[in-house]
Every structure is written in C-alpha cells, then in structure tokens.
Structure 1
C-alpha cells in the first residue's frame, strides 16, 4: 500500500467512527517514515495523542527512530524530553539507544556523551547496543582513548562485549595507527570465537602495508582469514 493510501485509510476509519488499533497506527507511521514523509507521520502521531488510540512503547520507538533517521534530531530530543516530563511509563534503554545513534551520526558527540552519562541517573542500564553506539561514535572521530575507556567501563558494569564491539574497536585502533592495541583486542576476539567482519579485514590489510608487512601482524591476519565474515 502506498503512503497516501495508508493515510487516507487511516483518516477514513476515524470518519466512520472506527478506532484504528495501535498496531495499525504503528504500521502507518513506519511506512510514512520509510518513504521520507516525516511531517505526515508526525500528524498521524499527533492525532493518536488526542484520540482513544493508545501509543505504546513501540510507537515511541518508531517515532524516535524515524525522526532521527530523517535528520530531525532536535524534534526527536524534544519528544523524548516530553516523555520524561510526563513521566510516561515507557522508558526503555532502546529509546535512548535510538537517540544516541542519532546524535553520534549527526556529529553531536557532546550531546551523546551527556545522554550516555545520564542513563544511570535515570535508572537505566546501558546494554551492548548502547556501548557499541558510543564506541563507534568516538572511534569515528579519533577519540580512541575515550572509546577504550567506554570499552573498559562496559566490562566493569558486567555487560558482555559482542562481535560488533570488537570489530568496531579494532577498526578504530587500526585507523588510529594503534596496531599493538588492535592486536590485543584481535586476540581477545579470537579467543571468544567472534568473526572478523570484511570491513575490519580490509583495514587489517591496509595496516599491514603501512607497517611494512610486520610479521606478527601478517600472522594474525592469516589466522583470521578462514573465519572472515562477509
């Protein structure tokens, strides 16, 4: 169904005295955001707020994700802030992960850092996605020391790193020329049975050239070749 048809059907249902289900509304919102109709999605959401339609946790996730990906980070932040003021019992780390990702991808690392540091005060425990998002954001602008600090904090807080965590931190270290540190994390990665992503492997090859075919680095690359993830 096309976006215009979906909106028309949504409005027609209400005109006939029918109340669309929350699931129906969520599907309409997703569809509108998917085709870049952020304004139309916001209108549908606003109508939901003044009708008997119940906005659930997933509704807010759809809104936050759609606004962030559409480049409307400020609007997403305002929506989250309203939720906090209204003390809606919908707070979940996934919502904050969406905002963190939006802030990092828009280059607003200060805002992402502040939000990340406030999570514990909000009574929320960061999960592996939270940590991975922050590590990736920091590595992307060369803040390797801070990224490693987040990686250490992750372990201290009992959140287990996954394959994405290791691939991200290794890529960042390789790009920053920190080959020894990268190899340490590669060793940990291998011991835990995580696969090397093709993008990480490509950076390893580039690092090998820059290090003038360092024998230890070459040996490590050869070790990972059979397990490389496409």
Structure 2
C-alpha cells in the first residue's frame, strides 16, 4: 500500500493487520506487524496491546500475555477496563484463577487497576476452584485500597454464599458487615438467605445487627426478614429484642391482622412457656 499509493499507514491500519493476523495465522504473525509498527515510529494504542494480549491468552501463553500488560504500563499506555477484562478473564478461563488473583492484587497495590473494573469474574473463578479464602482476601484488598468501584454487589454476594456454604457463619457476619459498611448492600433475597442461616444457627442478634446496619445504607427489609428475626429471638429466649422487632413490624404495617400478630407473639413466647 505504501509503495504503490504512497500512503503511510497509521495506528488504525496496523491494528487491523494485527487483529487479522492474530485470527488467521496466530499471535506470532501479529507480533511481526507490531514490530513493524514500532519500526515505522507509529505508536501502538491500547487496542494494539489488547489484541496481542488476547491472542497470547487464546494460545494459552499466559506469561507472554501478562508481559504485554506490564509493557502497557511501562510505556504509559495504561490499562483500560477492557484490558483488565482480557487479562483477568483470560487467566481465569484458562484455569489460572490463582495467578489472576496474584496479578490483580499486584496491580491493585500499584494503583493501576482502572475504575469500573468488576472483580466478579475473578471472585467466581476462585470460589469455583475452592479458593474461598483467596476470594475473601481479594475483596478485602479492594476495600482496603478504597477501590469499592471494583466490587459489585454480585461479587460480594458470591463470596458470602461460598462462606455460608462452607459453614463459616462468623466470617459471613464479619464480611457482610464490612461490605455493608462500604455501602455494598445485597438484595433482599440474598439478605434474607443470610439472615435465615444466622437465625437458625442461634445468631439472631448478629442477623439483626446487620439488618440495622444495612438500613442505614438504604436497605429496606420486608415482612419475611422481620418474621425470621422474631422467630429467631423466640428460639433463643431473647424476649426483649424479639418484642422490639415485633413492635417495629407493627409500625411498618407488616402485620396484617390480629391473627398474624398472635402467631408471631406465640412463637416469640413459646420457649418461655416450655421452660
């Protein structure tokens, strides 16, 4: 093109060639165009690097894919949300969830993770391979680094569900409290699921504390939430706390009639009558 029409190729031209070569011949062929791009003093863009990174991961050449990400940072191109999704997603899909967690933590500490990147995929992959503690560490690091924007509600709920499944209820309380404190509040269905597990385990006070904390962040409990708490306090013989929740139910209109009230009151005082 340049010899016949005497038109100098630009970055867009080279990106087309790099992408086409990646798909048709493989990433090594694409690398030759990338090198030619440099030779002609045409600065690569984020698209150039992302295409190569995706190509390396497609061929399961993970070290080289990670190297591309580091080169982007060294050259001042910076990582976009798309870059992080290719990097972390490529490692996770290739069965390298632990390596993905390591790279993510490194970039998070170096403050190069772009705002808007959701660590959900990483968390899901870690939980899928049984690395729940590592998933918790990733989320805790996100919170410590004040990168709440990288932690979506689904990502947090995924970790909580894994902790619950593992029977780590104390960890559920601690982790959920940390999340809610940062304004990351699970949906009503998830909250009720966690509350039910805590209440059945004799941890109704913890469930109610989390409910109150979430309320301060805009969470609105429903009748199911309150009913579980009342019954939980009843089983534990905590009449005063249960009656306070029952009164709150009345004030919010969750008790339809006197029959419903009597059923809840009966469940609250049943333990006392048995004693």
Q: TM tier, shorter chain?
A: 0.5 to 0.7
Structure-to-structure mapping, 1:74-223, within 5 angstroms: 74-84=63-73, 87-94=74-81, 95-125=83-113, 127-129=115-117, 131-156=119-144, 157-160=146-149, 161-162=151-152, 164-165=154-155, 168-169=158-159, 172=162, 188-191=185-188
Root mean square deviation, CA, Å: 3.8
**Which runs of no fewer than 5 residues in structure 2 stay unpaired?**
180-184, 194-223, 226-275
Q: Which has the higher contact order (CA 8 A, sep 6+)?
A: 1
Residue in structure 1 matching 2:31, options 39, 42, 67: 42
* Displacement of 1:80: 3.4
Q: Paired residue for 2:56, among 50, 67, 75? A: 67
Query: Does the 8 Å CA contact 1:19/1:53 hold for their aligned counterparts?
Result: no
Is this contact kept in 1: 2:101–2:138, CA < 8 A? no
Secondary structure of 2:8 counterpart? coil
Highest Rg: 1 or 2?
2
Q: Are the counterparts in 2 of residues 65 and 98 from structure 1 also a CA contact under 8 Å?
A: yes
CA spacing shift, 1:46–1:72, aligned 2, 3 Å: same
Distance in 2, matches of 1:88 and 1:96, equals 16
- Output the CA distance in 2 between the equivalents of 1:93 and 1:133: 16
- Structure 1 distance, partners of 2:138, 2:66, is 23
Q: How many residues align?
A: 179
Give unmatched runs, 5+ long, in structure 1.
Answer: 1-12, 195-203, 205-218, 221-230
Q: Does 1:28 align with 2:21?
A: no
Residue 79 of structure 1 deviates from its aligned partner by: 2.9
Q: State the partner residue of 1:201.
A: none
Do the aligned partners of 1:138 and 1:146 also contact (CA within 8 Å) in 2? Answer: yes
The answer to whether the Cα contact below 8 Å between 2:21 and 2:30 also exists between their aligned partners in 1 is: yes
8 Å contact from structure 2 (residues 115, 147) kept in 1: no
TM-fit CA distance, 1:31? 3.2
Task: Write the distance in 2 (CA, Å) between the matches of 1:172 and 1:36.
Answer: 42
TM-score, with length taken from structure 1: 0.59
TM-score of the pair, normalised by structure 2: 0.51
CA distance in 1, matches of 2:140, 2:108: 16
State the alpha-carbon separation in 2 of the partners of residues 147 and 115 from structure 1.
Answer: 13
